[in-house]
Amino acid sequence: MRNLAYLAIAGLALSVPTLPAAAVAKADDGDKMICKYRAQTGTRFKTKVCKTAAQWEEMAEQHRAGAKELVDRPQILVCGPQTGC
């Protein structure tokens, strides 16, 4: 009897069409407003900054690109035929 109940529940779950969670999240996340509190230099108070999820992601991508550029930049200038020093 118990197995029959499990099969019925599994059959109902499989028959209901659902969207992937990623597709639902992508549709809503770009326009969703997200507010974060940021530390402000010179005071102990924080400021509230509100942007859309897409704007926060774009800002994070710019920060990652800047950090990658700093890490990948050569630190020592080596003189040779290619550099001309």
Q: How far apart are CA 38 and CA 35, in angstroms?
A: 10
57 burial level (CB within 10 Å; 0-12, 13-18, 19+): middle
Residue 52 identity (one-letter amino acid): T
pTM: 0.52
Render each residue's pLDDT in the chain as its tens digit; 85 residues. Answer: 555 455 455 554 445 445 455 555 555 667 899 999 999 999 999 999 999 999 999 999 999 999 999 999 887 877 777 767 7
pLDDT at 12: 45
Q: What pLDDT shows up at residue 64?
A: 97
Q: What is the model's pLDDT at position 14? A: 46
Give the three-class secondary structure for 78: coil
Q: Per DSSP, what are the bridge partners of residue 37?
A: 48
The span from the CA of 48 to the CA of 35, in Å, is 7
